[in-house]
């Protein structure tokens, strides 16, 4: 296996991707780690939100950088030869599929979206959309129901992770 795409975010199941990679995937030549942000809400209230929360976009960018940095360091500690991090904004399913085509990956590792019964109806299931729309093998990392999410401190700011 030459190239693996790991999809990570700030949710509870994202660290399961790292665990699955370590235990189930033979060491690839390179790993592409992607974090996809949903686009900011564009409404008439955008100015009001920005006034109440100045620097919100910068904080979101810093959070994404911390997430990608965390996974990059973990992979490097494990001895992964080449790690590339990518930040995308847009529909997660489309962005993951586009990046997989661009990078010509051999495997996609993605976390299950979680346990909410209503989330698939509200946001859609990203991992199911990726599975249905790609010819590349997809490995879905599942978090056990017993696993509790906790807060990781990435340089003084707390970010929600598994």
Q: What is the pLDDT of residues 45-92, one digit of tens each?
A: 555 545 554 554 555 678 888 989 988 998 888 887 799 999 999 999
* 156: confidence class by pLDDT, cuts 50, 70, 90: very low
CA distance 143 to 67: 18
CA distance 130 to 110: 9
To the question of pTM greater than 0.85 for the whole model, the response is no
- Token output for 144: 């056990």
pLDDT score of 150: 40
Rounded distance, CA 75 to CA 9, Å? 15
User: What pLDDT score does 83 carry?
Assistant: 93
Higher pLDDT residue, 17 or 156? 17
């Amino acid at each position: 296996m030459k190239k693996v795409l790991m999809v990570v975010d700030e949710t509870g199941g994202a660290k399961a991707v790292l665990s699955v990679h370590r235990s189930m995937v033979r060491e690839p030549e390179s790993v592409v780690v992607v974090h996809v942000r949903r686009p900011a809400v564009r409404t008439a209230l955008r100015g009001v939100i920005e006034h109440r929360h100045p620097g919100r976009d910068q904080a979101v960018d810093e959070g994404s950088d911390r997430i990608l940095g965390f996974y990059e360091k973990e992979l490097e500690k494990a001895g992964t030869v080449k790690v590339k991090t990518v930040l995308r904004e847009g529909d997660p399913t489309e962005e993951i599929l586009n990046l997989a085509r661009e990078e010509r990956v051999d495997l996609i590792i993605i976390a299950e979206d979680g346990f909410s019964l209503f989330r698939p109806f509200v946001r859609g299931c990203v991992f199911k959309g990726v599975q249905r729309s790609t010819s590349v093998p997809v490995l879905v990392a599942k978090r056990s129901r017993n696993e509790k999410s906790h807060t990781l401190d990435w340089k003084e700011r707390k970010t929600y992770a598994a």
